[in-house]
Amino acid sequence: MNPDIHLKDLKVGDVAEIVGFYDGDPSYQRKLLSLGLTRGAKIKVIRVAPFGDPMEISVRGFNLSLRKNEADVLKVRRGGENG
């Protein structure tokens, strides 16, 4: 079984499934949910800025850029296919 990790720990080309959220600001979690970052959503890391911040991911047919501290709240599991 793959362990749960932070989104920011993925590298370019990695595919993962969102499995939940780490503790954080509930209003920010709701913002991420409204963007489609829900449990079960498949994501793929498209690119990471030269100094690692921000990172661009593909989720539900669109690309989204997140800063490391924003990405830190997402709990993901490697694997699966990008949807």
Domain boundaries, the chain: 5-78
Q: How far apart are CA 1 and CA 48, in angstroms?
A: 27
Q: How far apart are the first and last CA of the chain?
A: 21
Entry pTM = 0.80
**What's the topology of domain 5-78?**
SH3 type barrels. (2.30.30)
Q: What are phi and psi of 46, to 5 degrees?
A: -90, -50
Q: Mind listing the pLDDT tens digit for each residue in 21-76?
A: 888 778 888 888 888 889 999 999 999 988 878 999 999 999 999 888 888 888 99
Provide the 3-class DSSP secondary structure of residue 77: strand
